[in-house]
Chain A
Amino acid sequence: MTALMPVLTSRWANERSWTLEAYQAAGGYQALAKALTMPPEEVLNLVKESGLRGRGGAGFPAGMKWSFLPKPDGGPRYLVVNADESEPGTCKDVPLMMADPHGLIEGAIITSYAIGCHSAFIYLRGEVVHVYRRLLAAVREARQAGLLGESVLGSDFSLELTVHAGAGAYICGEETALLDSLEGRRGQPRLKPPFPAVAGLYARPTVVNNVESIASVPWIVDKGADWWKSFGTETSTGVAIFSLSGHVARPGQYEAPLGITMRQLLDLAGGIRPGHELKFWTPGGSSTPMFTAAQLDVPLDYNSVSAAGSMLGTRALQCFDETTCVVRAVSRWMDFYAHESCGKCTPCREGTFWLRAVMRRIEAGQGKMEDLQILEDIPKSIVGRAFCPLGDGAPSSLVSSLRFFRDEYVQHIELGRCPYDHTASYLFQVVTP
């Protein structure tokens, strides 16, 4: 018996899995039919009861988020699906939408029904055009089949679903930046309060949820909250997709109950590539502090990972073996945050700019010992001072790498160069004569 539990991923290998026909053949849209027989509050309560927590990184209980919407006032309220998957290492929503777009759409319809929304949006990052094609086609098919539009499945519930393509900005994964972007603005986060539940899209009550969260909803409706809770831990219920990447023998998407360990997942993925051993890994993307082999047995649930000093985040398990220069990896992440900082607030804009400059210098062998103090200090000037979580997460890999691998920084400075052969990390062979 494997520790894996494919649920959301279970249809991905089906023939023409992205079509309505294949989806329905696999039992799709039955949960919607069932939900429509229930009062909306009951659907909401069911999701609340399931303990489903947001799969976009923050892990906020989805049902509770929905229940924050104020009482209906006759005006519109919106569901916005956050499909801006951009956190480095995170690569689960994109394959989900490519293989199983109807799974997301069914979840979006049920969620809309539960929260009283008649106009929903999927905000997809713009850099995955084929996913956009699949979503556009699936929405078209669903509308033609009476699953969207006026009177969904013959009920008196109506829903318009619009798939919107972004245009390249990591910050739009932050829900208020996403809303601004969806309104045709620069994707810069909004001041809270008001929270989106009160004043979100077009200043109306809005629920923003991650793709995987929404795609989990039909399963919960179909099989019940108890079934969902039978997986995972008490506070991290259900199954979730774990994305293994990097120096892994068989990288890919592994769906399992929350609480599985990295050691188990690595075993399933064939371990670190042959002849090598794990050096460090990220539990939830590059915004979460890195782990080493010492944390292989930490259960990958929200609480355990926090207790171990990181965050479960998006379960983006990027693995790096002993050939990897950690300074180089961190320098690249600092490049990433400097590139993606939206520029709104001082700490993030200037802090990531500074970190990038210092990291590039050290990696290039031009570091000074004083730089280490600066690398210790700047993160403190960003974390807890920045406007939004982008800034708070930006220095995570740096801070944690200094904790685990300070010697490597010193080595770069003392040697005046990087001690690693970068080609040794490549996933293809480059042989130097």
Chain B
Amino acid sequence: MTAPDQVTCTIDGVEVAVPKGTAIIRAAEEVGIMIPRFCDHPLLQPVAACRQCLVDVASPAGPEGKLRAFPKPQPACAMTVTPGMVVSTQVTSPAAKEAQEQVAELILINHPLDCPVCDKGGECPLQNQAMATGRAASRFTEPKNTFRKPLALTPQILLDRERCVLCQRCTRFAMQIPGDPFIALQMRGANQQIGRFDPATLGFAVPPDELADQSLSDPVTPDGEPFAGYFAGNIIQICPVGALTSAAYRFRARPFDLVSTESVAEHDANGSTIRVDYRRGTVLRRLSGNDPVVNQEWISDKDRFGFRWQTASDRLTTPLLRRGGELVPASWSAALAAAAEALGQAAAVGVLPGGRLTLEDALAYEQFTRRVLKSGNVDFRARPANGEEAAFLAHQVAGTGLGVTFEELVNAPAVLFAGFDPEDEGGILYLRLRAAKTPVRALAPFTSRAIRRLGGTVHQVAPGQEAAFLDKMAQDPATEATAGTVIVVGQRLVHSPGGFSAALAAAKKHDAKLVWIPRRAGERAALEAGLLPGLLPGGRFDQAGSAGLDVNQMIEAAAAGKLDALVLGGLEVSDLPDPELAAKAFGKAKVVALNVRREEVSPYADVVLPVAPPQEKAGTYINWEGRPRPFPQVLKSAGLSDAAVLRALAAKLGFELTLAEPGQGQSALADLADLAEPSVRCPAPKQAPGPAPVLAEDEVLLSTWHQLVDDAAGLADEPRLAASAPAPVVRLAPDTAAGLGLTQGELVSVATSRGRIVLPSVIDPDMLEGVVHLPAKSPGSWVLSSLGAASGAVVKLALAASGTEEGEK
């Protein structure tokens, strides 16, 4: 018997039951029959344009349910199965086979037979199809359509139009998945092509005076081209022919020479499954894996293109030792000895391991700090942080295992974001929300691109005032939450003191779920490993009270000469709460740094110990859901993981670290938790919201967050990716602009006593008056470094005379 939501049909004589609404093409897959296709994609709406999947269909009709055949073959991608339907594919129906061969012939007439020089050759559905069912010789003797090639759709996506079969997977992806229709079908008929609005390509006359002026209302790249979104690279992967290629990968390899390894992306807290393809020890490209529970079949461009940082020219191959003020290459034994000496002699030590650790490395840091260095001074938060957040994380997140999942989040009746932008700070989470049409609301001073494309609403809240909003929500039973609401808090909530406390209270009041989504891939694992003062592995709270210093306190202490030595993992000075103070601190203390490359902290180090980047080691990330994301070692490498280096260093100090087997961090963590005393949890923070700042005439509040693609260290050596990111602008309200006498596009200066940033302006009618927004760490807009201020800070706003460069980084 067929279950109520199942439909039974027969495909090539095989009966199969599939869920109602299943397309014939999917049902056929269930019984192992592959119907050829180009335009079909399981995550896109059917379009039935390529006509390659035509099959014969008959279904019961009339009162007696006699089988009635459709008069012509039907597209298997678009027709859903109905009870009793009988489908005959190319396997059993000569008519279907003929139809498919006819379509295949037509698809190929304008296709160049350039497989030998095409990146797709060897992994090309069209090639496979042609080899399997095509004619040996073409009957088409007319001139083929040709086009200038390739066209750059974005700095990293190239289009060879003559190879395109116009299946529209790319344009449908752009429209349906991220909602970034930066490309569309252009022209008509046989001239039809994929493209942007490119006047030269489409033959539009451009008067000379029209080139100069760029409207900045919609984001543009540094070249002035419309921003294509953060997910455009996916179109390369889903192109069923070689029309869309990656500029970085083009002509670099043949698919059959590549070794593919499934891995996990290191750039954000989603833990997206990726496929890493390498040849002869060099990674040449990354693709999205297929992981229905996390990233489905999509990844961000950051995850796709941002991998060359791992092999950048400043990659460390040997330890470095400071000799005569200079960092010089040294042997491992000399470097370890120097590091051991520095740490062994120090009376007070601090450890800042950074937020990009695997669970295995994090556990090693934990042991190294508490057992070897006998210190409680450890904090993974190499970014603005506060004690309230630490208490919140220890109370609410650490040791709680798999919590709110992607599935739960995107299917929630409502999601409220506080201190978090679901795209810039959420990556592919944005795609999952959009696909699920999740009702979202955000506390923000303006409607971000993400919220607009999610069809969400914004509660206009000035930066820093999120706490007050959440506190009100916690007080007022009638406000802002429906049953089952999920409140998402991001790490930016640290800029609104009392925010985490209020979020806890609001969640409790409204029976809402609360989920913390950090930006970095390693923060959740570090939290689980206990890399916060007072927090032990597995979320246990150190009641003894020998808590230790957090990141702010460590930097202050070191700057004041009260910490003699620091162990630094992969972190950037420019990301720390006060980069100027941090530089001072790192200059004062003895610094042992574990770095992949010559990084921002390397110059401050006395000893630099090289560690392996993710692709050269195995490990486990824990994503924001709390889901372990183990990954294998992709490349053979002499590089050592942080854990292995720490073990060697510990040995020099006379200790033996018990390391988790790479990729087995989760069971090691479980073992630790099992051994532990019955767990005591950190009490919830209870901090009242701070008062709203009072602004002087020329003062406004600063809103800032990181664009998904910016000057992040992990995007080093990828200029094409940088060129595809939105050019930074200062966004401000019409009234604010009017107050300055500013017109859109004019340069505006945002300043503090420490410095200023000068950027072009965008007047956003939707912006809260008295607030300016600028990206946190984009070219020319390094907010922490230049202003020494963060979100919610009071800044001075002024018109900038053009040509002012001094404020820019």
Contacts and interface: CB of A to CB of B under 8 A. Distances in A.
User: Is A–B contact present in the complex under a CB 8 A cutoff?
Assistant: yes
Contact of A384 (B46, B72, B142, B189): B72
A381 B103 contact: yes
Among A339, A344, A347, A384, the one with the most B-chain Cβ atoms within 10 Å of its Cβ is A344
A385 to B, nearest CB: 5
Given A169-B188, A354-B140, A346 B99 contact: no
A340 B189 contact: yes
Interface residues of A, number: 31
Contacts of B105: 381
Contact of B73 (A341, A352, A385): A385
B190 interface: yes
B138 to A, nearest CB: 11
Interface string B146-181: 000000000000000000011000000000000000
B316 to A, nearest CB: 53
Given A344-B49, A385-B51, A354 B109 contact: yes
A349 interface: yes
A358 interface: yes
B73 A386 contact: no
A347 B103 contact: yes
Nearest to A383: B72
A354 B140 CA distance: 8
Contacts of B547: none
B172 to A, nearest CB: 12
Interface string A335-347: 0001111111111
B73 A346 contact: no
Interface string B57-81: 0000000000000011100001000
Nearest to B111: A350
Contacts of A340: 189
Interface in A371-399: 374, 380-381, 384-387
B107 A350 contact: yes
27 contacts: A186-B185, A186-B188, A191-B78, A338-B190, A340-B189, A341-B188, A342-B188, A343-B188, A343-B191, A343-B192, A344-B47, A344-B166, A346-B106, A346-B107, A346-B166, A347-B103, A347-B106, A350-B106, A350-B110, A353-B110, A354-B109, A374-B139, A384-B72, A384-B99, A385-B54, A385-B72, A385-B102
A339 to B, nearest CB: 7
A260 B185 CA distance: 45
Contacts of B99: 384-385
Interface of B: 46-52, 54, 71-73, 78, 99, 102-103, 105-107, 109-110, 139-140, 142-143, 145, 165-166, 185, 187-192
A363 B105 CA distance: 24
A357 interface: yes
Given A385-B54, A385-B73, A191 B189 contact: no
B269 to A, nearest CB: 37
A169 B110 CA distance: 23
Nearest to B184: A186
Per CB-CB distance, the 4 closest pairs between chain A and chain B, nearest first, are: A343-B192, A381-B102, A384-B72, A357-B142
Contacts of A289: none
A169 B188 CA distance: 9
B170 to A, nearest CB: 15
A387 B75 CA distance: 9
Contacts of A351: 106
Interface of A: 169, 186, 188, 191, 338-347, 349-354, 357-358, 361, 370, 374, 380-381, 384-387
Among A186, A343, A352, A370, the one with the most B-chain Cβ atoms within 10 Å of its Cβ is A343
Contacts of A358: 142
Nearest to A187: B188
B51 A346 contact: yes
Given A346-B49, A349-B166, A349-B192, A381 B106 contact: yes
A347 B71 CA distance: 17
Nearest to B106: A350
A328 B103 CA distance: 27
B48 A384 contact: no
B650 to A, nearest CB: 64
A331 to B, nearest CB: 14
Among B49, B54, B99, the one with the most A-chain Cβ atoms within 10 Å of its Cβ is B49
Given A350-B110, A357-B142, A341 B47 contact: no
Given A191-B47, A353-B190, A381-B105, A343 B54 contact: no
A284 to B, nearest CB: 20
B78 A345 contact: no
Contacts of B54: 385
A341 B190 CA distance: 8
Contacts of A186: 185, 188
Contact of A345 (B50, B185, B187, B191): B50
A380 B188 CA distance: 23
B142 A354 contact: yes
Nearest to B107: A346
Contacts of A384: 71-73, 99
A345 B191 CA distance: 13
A387 B189 CA distance: 13
Given A338-B190, A374-B139, A387 B49 contact: yes
B168 to A, nearest CB: 8
A125 to B, nearest CB: 15
Contacts of B187: 343
Nearest to A358: B142
B51 A386 contact: yes
Nearest to A380: B102
Contacts of A350: 106-107, 109-110, 190
A194 to B, nearest CB: 12
A181 to B, nearest CB: 12
B166 A343 contact: yes
Contacts of B166: 343-344, 346, 349
Contacts of B190: 338, 341, 343, 349-350, 352-353
A90 B289 CA distance: 54
A264 to B, nearest CB: 33
Contacts of A344: 47, 49, 166
Nearest to B142: A357
A186 B171 CA distance: 13
A354 B145 CA distance: 11
B134 to A, nearest CB: 14
Nearest to B108: A350
Among B47, B54, B102, B106, the one with the most A-chain Cβ atoms within 10 Å of its Cβ is B106
Contacts of A345: 48-51
Given A349-B166, A385-B54, 4 more contacts: A186-B188, A346-B50, A350-B109, A385-B102
Nearest to A169: B188
A341 B189 contact: yes
A169 B73 CA distance: 27
Contacts of B48: 191, 345, 387
Contacts of B140: 354
A353 B188 contact: no
A338 B189 CA distance: 7
B44 to A, nearest CB: 12
B51 A387 contact: yes
A185 to B, nearest CB: 10
Nearest to B192: A343
A193 to B, nearest CB: 9
B267 to A, nearest CB: 36
A361 B143 CA distance: 12
B109 A385 contact: no
A75 B50 CA distance: 35
A201 B346 CA distance: 76
Nearest to B191: A343
Contacts of B103: 346-347, 381, 385
Contacts of A381: 102-103, 105-106
Contacts of B185: 186, 188, 343
Among A346, A361, A384, the one with the most B-chain Cβ atoms within 10 Å of its Cβ is A346
Nearest to A354: B109
A169 B72 CA distance: 27
